[in-house]
Structure 1
Amino acid sequence: MTVRPLALLLLAGGLFLGLGALPDSSARAAAPVFTETPCPADWPTGVSEVRCGTLTVDEARDGSTDRRIGVAVVILKASQPYKDVSGHFLPPVVMFHGGPGGALTPGAGRLLAGLSRRPDLAAMDQDVILFDQRGGGRSDPSMDCPGVELTDAGPPTDKDRDGLIACLKSYQAQGVDLRWYNAAAIADDVRDLTQALGLEKIDLRGGSYGPRIEAAVITHQPQIVRAVVMDSPWPPEGDWAVGTPEQVSTAVRLILSKCAAQAACAARHPDIQARFEAEARKWLAGPVTGKDGRTFTVDDLSAFLMDTTYSGQGVRSLPADLDRIIAGDLTPVAEVAENRTYYSEGQHMAHLCKEELPFESRARLTAGAEGDPVAQVLVPSLARLFDVCAAVDVGAADPVENQPVTTTIPTLFVAAEIDPGCPPHLTEAAAKGYANSQVVIVTNATHGVIDASPCTRRMARDFLRNPSAPVDRSCLPAADTPLDFIEDAAAT
């Protein structure tokens, strides 16, 4: 779901804009076109051969209009192209960012800087194609909503909810057809990208909501895919709002149980689960004022819990942070509240209103959290998502977009043991439809697993070299490995 913990290496920099659109296989206004443009002058040189450009495609996939939109693209050429056992070079790997509402091309400059120090981070065995999914990043249009805050726990205030509605309607007034900003349309963009670049096959790799888009490519354009890697995946059949409060509560309970299992941590934070549940009830009753006089709402605590349980450092400091909150030091909550604008919010909501929330309900959201005060903390902000979607027309949802995927395409799933948004049980269930899949659950890991360690990076690389071979799991931590807690996050 979230974008921030995934591919942090790819989240900074500047790029170009473009104009393009998406065609359907049966009715197409014009062929897709890839137009090369100069890469930013401040990017590192001499690291990897780089091509920058814009893929121009049809906005409407049914041929109903001739409006064209642009998809920003960066291609990194392989530094040491790898040949498989049959003597063929590997196809390019297309990267899929999370969110929805994330981006990849703005961080290409930072990625190049990283490759100058660590050539094995990317684009060694095969070309890497970065693109900003339609409606976000450096693509055109890019549906950002300045001044509006939005987290994976939803809009933190009624003002943000209303701002999202106004923002989406403003894009509609500018001529943007929100019916075509979703996973199925992006799958057609990917097909068009392969056509424009003259590619026969590609590999797919994505994280968080990226695998949701990968699943759409597999469903709608399977003929172009050789192999797939999914990191902390969100499957099409997952419920975005419904069940998320319970997932966050489960993540909190798992982390605190790992603390309770260690004598030193348990002594520093006795009965922390029960004490925090009591604290959560206070926040549910109304705003809470800390020792420094700052006041926060249950929505602020909601965003803190979601962001913290996504983060590797946040997980390790959670017992200490919860004790600070219980004692009236609300600094951990305030720190999360300082930055809640990390999405292209219009793109984010276009996806949710088309392919997620039509299959859910506010009633199920509320009922699922009943009786669990930690889960109930998440309900108010998530419920606002339904208000946004009720106010903005993005077209009818196709039931196929909520169905599990069935495929024989070789796929590697790598999931984190601790993940409130994309928990491992969703990965295990989704993988049942992937006949040639391998599933790896990493102990003590958090959202965004593959790039977090050399072990998992090597695993993904080896899989793409030979998707039919079992991946080497010997470098993974044992299931009983203690979680390394920290007491002072600022010192770490």
Structure 2
Amino acid sequence: MSRRLIAALAFILALTGFVAPVAAGEPVFAARACPADWPTDVRQTVCGTLTVDEARDGSSNRRIDIAVVILKASQPYRDASGQALPPVVMFHGGPGGALTPGVGGTLAALARMPDLLAVDQDVIFFDQRGGGADTPSMDCPGVELTDAGPPSDADRDGLIACLKGYEAQGVDLNQYNARVIADDVGDMAKALNLPKIDLRGGSYGPRIEAAVITHQPQIVRAAVMDSPWPPEGNWAVGTPEQVSAAVRLILSKCAAQADCAARHPNLQTRFEANARLWLAGPQTGKDGKTFNVDDLSAFLMDTTYDRTGVRRLPADLEKVIAGDLTPVAEIAADRTYYFEGQHMAHLCKEELPFESKARLAAGAAGDPVAEVLVPSLSRLFDVCAAVDIAGADPVENAPVVTDIPTLFVAAEIDPGCPPPLTEAAARTYSNSQVVIVTNATHGVINSSPCTVAMARDFLRDPSKPVDRSCLPATDTPLAFIEDASAS
């Protein structure tokens, strides 16, 4: 999210409105006015646009714009030698997320909690090419997509049509992926005159951090990875089993508590039986509304990612088993939270070429909860087969080998980025620290003052072990949420 020597350049540009002519291929940062409704008295803020080549191989002269927002540090920290910290660049997840549209809300939050962000070091937010406030921004209006894939054949077909539409506009979909974004980050550092930066991201953000570490290591001082997705992970293959494992873990935490176990006896076995009904055909709830296995798939994925959803899961599964499908309906009401074109450009380039439908189905076979995820995830392969995106070089799917100081923070309960994935990835980061937070869910660092301080202290001095004393004990019970309608 933001950084440092930018002030001089940004404010000179803002005052003069002048951008010198540049040769083709040279990155350019141009300051612009921030949105008028953003708070102006919280952090010194610079908004701008980074303009770079869409393709750096000379295959076209098309240029694209990347939205950038910089929050200046309120109390810049200096180490024992008097050296100021470099800016920290924030990486959003997804793929298909965004950061800059939410900076106004971040500033409002900082007015209430000034120590939350941009205290020690500047923070640079940017929207990874192809999404957010960028040009192009590859949204697919009317198409639904979750981490469990397109929830219907119509959504699959809509994604194909959307991607082909961007191709027809001249967008080279092969240029929207982690490898190319790593070079965007290098260009941003060059345009802003930043010799070093820190990296911080969550979910798919660490996938992009890994690419920066691989392809632009000379600019990276340290990295923080929250609920990380590493390059060697499989997007579709193995995900059904991970979701099933997350459900089993949550329900085992319920079974270990006498009150929860009494409310929900043998819930794992009963839900597996219910999942087989969904696999056999659509289910109609007490209110007459019908949902299918893809709807249950999206419910399981989204719920086991979510802090509140995890705590409600036993009660919600009781409802579903009893024919009250409102928990499924709540998720089905909003499944459009990605810039879907950007999302699929990444998956079709750097994820799915290394996987297959056959392996997806084989891994889930015999586990009814896992099998629920297979149909929607399978549609991702259909989308990629229909568009012109070549698979990435195999190095983009390999573990990263580095000695750059890196802090990995993972959630105990995470269906997409589980702890074993984090622990395996960290083995080739020779100067890394791994923290697994008990009872936490996807997106750990900002969920507690403990982990916020941990990330901040690490970036102050990446050579020191982080303080884990504030973390919950591994045997801490998970606090479940019940309601009057839960059995």
Query: 1:198 is matched with which residue: 193, 201, 220?
Result: 193
Q: Is 1:418 equivalent to 2:432 in the alignment? A: no
> In 2 relative to 1, CA 419–219 (structure 1 residues): closer, same or farther, beyond 3 Å?
same
SS in 2 for 1:444: strand
Please name the residue that 1:186 is paired with. 181
What are the within-5 Å matches in structure 2 for residues 285-304 of structure 1?
285-304=280-299
Query: 1:393 is matched with which residue: 388, 393, 402?
Result: 388
Please name the residue that 1:13 is paired with. none
Q: Identity over aligned residues, as a percent?
A: 80
The size of the alignment, in residue pairs, is 464
Please name the residue that 2:76 is paired with. 81
| Aligned AA (2:426) | A
Q: Is 1:115 equivalent to 2:110 in the alignment? A: yes
Q: Deviations over 1:24-70 (max 9, x none)?
A: xxxx9321000000000110111100000100000002122110000
Please name the residue that 2:19 is paired with. none
Q: Is 1:220 equivalent to 2:215 in the alignment? A: yes
Kindly state the Cα deviation for residue 291 of structure 1 after the two structures are TM-superposed.
Answer: 0.4
Kindly state the Cα deviation for residue 395 of structure 1 after the two structures are TM-superposed.
Answer: 2.1
Please name the residue that 2:334 is paired with. 339
Please name the residue that 1:99 is paired with. 94
- Normalised by the length of structure 1, the TM-score is 0.93
Kindly state the Cα deviation for residue 490 of structure 1 after the two structures are TM-superposed.
Answer: 11
SS in 2 for 1:324: helix
Query: 1:283 is matched with which residue: 278, 282, 285?
Result: 278
Distance between the aligned counterparts of 2:39 and 2:485, measured in 1? 31
Please name the residue that 2:56 is paired with. 61
What are the within-5 Å matches in structure 2 for residues 338-487 of structure 1?
338-487=333-482
Distance between the aligned counterparts of 1:156 and 1:395, measured in 2? 25
SS in 1 for 2:164: helix
Query: 2:257 is matched with which residue: 237, 259, 262?
Result: 262
Please name the residue that 1:7 is paired with. none
Please name the residue that 2:15 is paired with. none
- Normalised by the length of structure 2, the TM-score is 0.94
Kindly state the Cα deviation for residue 489 of structure 1 after the two structures are TM-superposed.
Answer: 10
Q: Deviations over 1:409-460 (max 9, x none)?
A: 0000000000000000000000000010000000000000000000000000
Distance between the aligned counterparts of 2:142 and 2:262, measured in 1? 43
SS in 2 for 1:445: strand
Would you say the 8 A contact 2:248–2:268 is kept in 1?
yes
> In 2 relative to 1, CA 442–71 (structure 1 residues): closer, same or farther, beyond 3 Å?
same
Would you say the 8 A contact 1:245–1:378 is kept in 2?
yes
Distance between the aligned counterparts of 1:490 and 1:263, measured in 2? 19
Q: Deviations over 1:384-422 (max 9, x none)?
A: 000000001112321011000000000000000000000
Distance between the aligned counterparts of 2:141 and 2:309, measured in 1? 27
Query: 1:317 is matched with which residue: 292, 312, 315?
Result: 312
Distance between the aligned counterparts of 2:213 and 2:400, measured in 1? 8
Gaps of 5+ in 2: 1-22
Q: Deviations over 1:205-264 (max 9, x none)?
A: 000000000000000000000000000000000000000000000000000000000000
Please name the residue that 1:148 is paired with. 143
Would you say the 8 A contact 1:355–1:401 is kept in 2?
yes
Distance between the aligned counterparts of 2:301 and 2:440, measured in 1? 15
Would you say the 8 A contact 2:350–2:391 is kept in 1?
no
Would you say the 8 A contact 1:227–1:410 is kept in 2?
yes
Kindly state the Cα deviation for residue 378 of structure 1 after the two structures are TM-superposed.
Answer: 0.2
Q: Is 1:231 equivalent to 2:219 in the alignment? A: no
What are the within-5 Å matches in structure 2 for residues 121-160 of structure 1?
121-160=116-155
Would you say the 8 A contact 1:158–1:384 is kept in 2?
yes
Please name the residue that 1:5 is paired with. none
Distance between the aligned counterparts of 2:287 and 2:41, measured in 1? 51
Would you say the 8 A contact 2:348–2:391 is kept in 1?
no
Would you say the 8 A contact 1:412–1:437 is kept in 2?
yes
Would you say the 8 A contact 1:56–1:71 is kept in 2?
yes
Would you say the 8 A contact 2:25–2:56 is kept in 1?
no
Distance between the aligned counterparts of 1:395 and 1:116, measured in 2? 46
Distance between the aligned counterparts of 2:160 and 2:212, measured in 1? 29
Would you say the 8 A contact 1:29–1:65 is kept in 2?
no
Would you say the 8 A contact 1:311–1:446 is kept in 2?
yes
Distance between the aligned counterparts of 2:202 and 2:483, measured in 1? 29
Q: Deviations over 1:56-110 (max 9, x none)?
A: 0000021221100000000000000000122100000000000000000000000
Q: Is 1:175 equivalent to 2:170 in the alignment? A: yes
Q: Deviations over 1:303-333 (max 9, x none)?
A: 0000000000000000000000000000000
Kindly state the Cα deviation for residue 274 of structure 1 after the two structures are TM-superposed.
Answer: 0.1
Distance between the aligned counterparts of 2:238 and 2:222, measured in 1? 30
| Aligned AA (1:448) | G
SS in 2 for 1:35: strand
| Aligned AA (1:281) | R
Kindly state the Cα deviation for residue 163 of structure 1 after the two structures are TM-superposed.
Answer: 0.2
Would you say the 8 A contact 1:313–1:489 is kept in 2?
no
